[in-house]
Chain A
């Protein structure tokens, strides 16, 4: 029944990037009298189910809010439970999961992992490392994540890049919105299409503030996360499909507006204009840089694309300037646990 419904939905447009705030595990655990800890495990099972559904439909990226930096304020035993859950489930996902293998899911962990204990960090590194070559789909686990921290990290890395490479003010003026977007944790991901929050709360709680603020369908659902099934997701997808055309149109308008902004900001156009072009250009350049240094993080690059990158840039860039840009982009390029990947 579910497969039939999915095939039917595929006649319309399928979102590329879905965000989920998995709220209400503890309250659900209390509601069915199994306790808070078991509530988290039930929540994980629901996540697996929804992930399977999304992959079957053809969703490219699923981003889930597993743990917020604010959640460290919770009682120590709850935090401990969550860390244990994360360790076991991440290990399971990267090694034994049929889902990951079948759909080629790359696991990414977004957020400031330096706040986590060392054993969790090791598990995360291993999980990301094992799946980094998978590029058919991405599962972003936000652990621990705060959208403000993400924006701060992006700003800091851009400014430190400017300092390190001593760009002149005119080149600084070329830093556009898309460059900032490429410095966030979600930079190899398409723009977010749907953001769902369960448990009836109507706020974003510091999740993906940048990504959901324009051309994104936000839904607040009134059930707890473990109660969220495919049949509750179905009307949300139908509503998204009704809105898909206007979302695509507003994205086009925004990118047109950005082209105008870049024209105003810098005539040299050191960094490319359109979102898509920028994504590919920066990803390509970063990969190129990394492959030159024999890093194991890049998935595709050859000298050919170097030439095509040159062809794609709108204005004639001198080689020296391009090198400066490439090294600048590379300086701020490395985020641990989020390798750059080209989604198919």
Chain B
């Protein structure tokens, strides 16, 4: 709904009966004065305009600074904010001296096309810089296949590429993908969905090779439950393929987040000694696994936190908890029950957009992104992100 126009709010404020501090009485007077001046402005005579000229009347605020609010030249808007600035601690002697003079306004309107030209030039220059950077990336990518394969097919290749000198490796890797095959309206694009499944399987292969325990993937729309099984089959198949030279194929299990209602009971059941083992067992219904793949969607972000609040509220109504118990560690235990904190987040989108990834969990996450990611193979991004993570130093406030 449109916000009330400034003039309307002025009038309302002027007519309010419940003001009882003395400063506000002065304010309403000032506003009524301002209002009258605004009404009169439309019928200004030439004499008024001359009287207002900066050469004749004293100016308290230099005309060049004018008003900060945009380039609109309507008189009500220009009169109004300066009226507001007079309400702060010091008062300007008269209300009219603080509005920009007619002359500067005319100059501003005449200069507008030049400003627009400069605006266009700035953007053009910026685009040129971006394009050169993309060209440079393209050239670097072109020479990559001599160093790294675009998509390694075997575990030992990944292990060799990662190397043994990584000081620290993440235990939870999060990836935000561009889109999935399902649009917001529910239409399914089979090839894109298939590509997305393939991408997930690839990431699963590489993460298991490096030793990452949890891989969470954010997609733009929720995954249908029937597709979850298809995805699991795909992942199993590709893992077998990837590890065909090894003795043992790691097990990777795919899941989505469980409903919020289950998390609260876990907070009460937790006792720290067995916490991780119990958690692992619980997550996949008792099956052991090496890699835990979690598929997230935008509704797991803000909406999940809001759902959490609703759930806690209902629990409070049932006298299960009281509001004083809600501390940061309480919420942390509850929210981390289903999803741990990722140490490294790779964004496979053109813009650095957190896309509603569960906000609670990315408190200290290293966020890796390259604006030219469309031309860089995902494997290269993966390796570079790991190396960048290994080099970073986290000070935790100190």
Contacts and interface: CB of A to CB of B under 8 A. Distances in A.
Q: A and B: real partners?
A: yes
Contacts of B351: 217, 243, 246
A229 interface: no
A216 interface: yes
Interface in A251-303: 253-254, 257, 261, 265, 276-277, 280, 291-292, 294, 296, 300-303
A169 B317 contact: yes
B285 to A, nearest CB: 28
A209 to B, nearest CB: 4
A176 B115 contact: no
B87 interface: yes
B96 interface: no
Contacts of B129: 235
A210 B335 CA distance: 14
A68 B305 contact: no
Interface string B52-64: 0000000001001
Contacts of B272: none
Contacts of B396: 70, 73
A252 B70 CA distance: 24
B310 A71 contact: no
A305 B88 contact: no
A204 interface: yes
B365 to A, nearest CB: 6
A205 B363 contact: yes
Nearest to A97: B89
B191 interface: no
A265 B308 CA distance: 14
B306 A162 contact: no
Range for the number of chain B residues in contact with chain A: 35 or more
A280 B1 CA distance: 9
Nearest to A291: B18
Contact of B398 (A74, A154, A239, A304): A74
A175 B260 CA distance: 15
Contacts of A36: none
Interface in B75-96: 80-81, 84-85, 87-90
Contact of A155 (B80, B90, B111, B331): B331
Interface in A17-61: 55-58
B309 A180 contact: yes
B301 interface: yes
Interface in B134-154: none
A319 interface: no
A166 interface: yes
A243 B312 CA distance: 37
Contacts of A210: 302, 305, 359
Given A104-B84, A180-B309, A214-B355, A209 B363 contact: yes
B322 to A, nearest CB: 7
In this complex, the member of A69, A73, A104 whose beta carbon has the largest number of chain B beta carbons within 10 angstroms is A104
Contacts of A201: 392
A227 interface: no
A312 interface: yes
A136 B301 CA distance: 32
Interface string A138-176: 000000001111011011101110110011110011011
B366 A296 contact: no
Contact of A102 (B13, B65, B80): B65
Given A162-B317, A219-B352, A344-B84, A180 B306 contact: yes
Nearest to B16: A302
B397 A179 contact: no
Contacts of B88: 100-101, 104, 131, 133-134
Given A103-B68, A133-B88, A159 B328 contact: no
B170 to A, nearest CB: 13
A315 interface: no
A342 B8 CA distance: 14
A318 to B, nearest CB: 21
A246 B178 CA distance: 14
A19 to B, nearest CB: 13
Contact of B397 (A73, A156, A234, A242): A73
Interface in B1-21: 1, 3, 6, 9, 12-13, 15-18, 20-21
Interface in A303-344: 303-305, 312, 342, 344
B289 interface: no
Interface stretch (B117-125, B197-205, B240-248): B117-125
Contact of B84 (A8, A136, A159, A234): A136
B64 A68 contact: no
Contact of B306 (A56, A149, A176): A176
Contacts of A155: 305, 308-309, 312, 326, 331
Given A162-B316, A214-B301, A304-B12, A55 B309 contact: no
B36 interface: no
A82 interface: no
Given A101-B85, A162-B316, A169-B317, 9 more contacts: A5-B122, A11-B115, A11-B116, A57-B68, A101-B89, A148-B331, A175-B309, A213-B355, A276-B1
25 contacts: A10-B71, A56-B68, A74-B397, A95-B89, A101-B88, A102-B85, A162-B316, A162-B317, A166-B317, A175-B313, A177-B302, A177-B305, A180-B305, A203-B365, A203-B366, A204-B367, A209-B360, A210-B302, A212-B354, A215-B353, A218-B352, A218-B353, A242-B123, A253-B184, A302-B16
Interface of B: 1, 3, 6, 9, 12-13, 15-18, 20-21, 61, 64-65, 68-71, 80-81, 84-85, 87-90, 111, 115-116, 118-119, 122-123, 126, 129, 184, 298-299, 301-303, 305-306, 308-310, 312-314, 316-317, 322-324, 326-328, 331-332, 351-357, 359-360, 362-368, 388, 392, 394, 396-398
Nearest 7 Cβ contacts at the A-B interface: A70-B397, A160-B323, A8-B118, A209-B359, A11-B119, A162-B313, A8-B119
